[in-house]
Amino acid sequence: MDVPAGLRDVVVTTTELGDVRGAEGFYHYRGYSAIDLARTRTLEDVWFLFVEGRLPDADERREFADHVAALRPLPDEVREVLPAIARAGSKFTPLAGLRTALSLIAAARDLPPVWDATPARRRADALLVSAVTPTILAALHRLRAGLPPLEPRADLSAAANWLYSVTGEIPDENQVSAVQSYLVATVDHGFNASTFTARVVASTGSDVVSAVAAAIGAFVGPLHGGAPDRALDSLDEIGSPDKIDAWARGKVAADDRIMGFGHAVYRTEDPRARMLREIALDLAARGFAPELAEFAVTVEQRIVDVLAELKPGRQLYANVEFYAGVVMEQCGIPRSMFTPTFAASRVIGWTANVLEQAGGGKVIRPAARYVGPPAPLPVPAA
C-alpha cells in the first residue's frame, strides 16, 4: 500500500492523549482545549492530566507537585560527568548533552525495558525522566557559561524553577506566568516527528530513556523543534520596519524557508502563536522588551501579507516558534536555551506517548518500496 510522502494524514494508531485539528486551528489534550489549559492551569496540572487521564483536585495537585519536585535533583553519577558533557565540542549543544546525561541516568537507575516493567514502574520512570530533564539542561547551560549549577528548588513551581535554574534569579511572576503558558501549550502536539519517533522505539519494548533520547534526536532538527532562536535571528537580520518587505521577498525569491512561518498541519493561524502574541504584548505593556514585541507584530503582519501575495493559496501564517522566541527573550532566557525550553515541556508529552504505546504489543514496522536496480543481479567474481 502506497502512502503520501512523510506519511501526511496517514492514521497509524489510536490515542487518548489529544489531537490537532489543523483546518480549525485547534488542538486539545484529552478533550480539553490546550490553549484554555495554557491560560488557566499550571504545568503540573497538565502533567498530571497526561499521566493520570484527568485533571487533579486540590489535594492531588499539591501531592503531585511535591512528588515531581522531589524528582528534580540529579544522581551523583550524573553530577560528576556533567562538567565534561558541558565542555564537549566547540559549540554548545545542550540537547546532545541531554541525550548523554539521560542515558547515564538510565544506567544509574537501572531503567528496565517497558516490555518487562509493570505499569507502576513505567509511570515512575516517565516521571523521573520528565522531572530531571529541565535540571540537566539548566545545569549544562550554567556549566558551559562557567557558572555552578543551581540545586532545584522544591518551593518553586516547575515553570518558576526552570527560570531560576537558567538565570540564577527568582523570576518576576509575570515572567513565570508567561513561560508556564508556553510550557503548557507545547507539552504535546499530535504525531509530530519526535513523538512518532518515541512511539516507534517504545513499540520495540525498549526503556523510557531510549525512546526519549530518540525523540530528542528528531526534535533538534531545525525543521522541528530547533526554530525559536532562528525566528528571532530573523528579526535581528531584518532590523527595521522599512526592510521587512525586501527581506521577505528576497527569501521567497531564493526559495529559502522563512523560519517561524507555515506549519505542516495548520491551514489557519496557529493557536499557539495567537496566544503567545498576546502574552508578548502583555509583557511589553509591563515593560519587558516592548520594542521587540511591537517590532515582531509588525514583521508578522507584513510577512503574512507578502507570503499571501507571492504564494497565493498556501495559507502561511506565523507558527509557535515565531512568538516563542520573543516571549523567551522577554523572560530573560538566552537564545541557546530556547529549544531546550521547548524540550523541557515536550518531554512530558513524549513520555506520555511512551506509556500509551507500552500498553500495546505491536512493533511499528512499515515497509519501503524498492526503486534500485532490478534484482537479483549476478554477483561478479572477486
**Burial category of 211 from C-beta neighbours within 10 Å (exposed 0-12, middle 13-18, buried 19 and up):** buried
Task: Please pick, among 141, 263, 300, 329, the residue that the annotation labels catalytic.
Answer: 263
Q: What is the DSSP string of 134-188?
A: HHHHHHHHHHHTT-PPPPP-TTS-HHHHHHHHHHSSPPPHHHHHHHHHHHHHTS-
* Whether 321 is catalytic: yes
Distance CA 363, CA 345 (A): 27
Residues 6+ apart with CB under 8 A from 43: 157, 158, 159, 180, 183, 184, 187, 345, 348
Asked if residues 43 and 184 have their Cβ atoms less than 8 Å apart, the reply is yes
Catalytic status, residue 263: yes
**Catalytic choice (44, 300, 321, 329):** 321
Per DSSP, 261 falls in state B
Q: Identify any residues that bridge with 261 across adjacent strands, giving them in sequence order.
A: 318
33 three-class SS: strand
Contact 103, 45 (CB under 8 A): no
Contacts with 198 (C-beta within 8 Å, 6 or more apart), sequence order: 211, 212, 214, 215, 350, 353, 354, 357
C-alpha cell at 154: 522544591
191: cell is: 504525531
**Residues noted as catalytic:** 263, 321
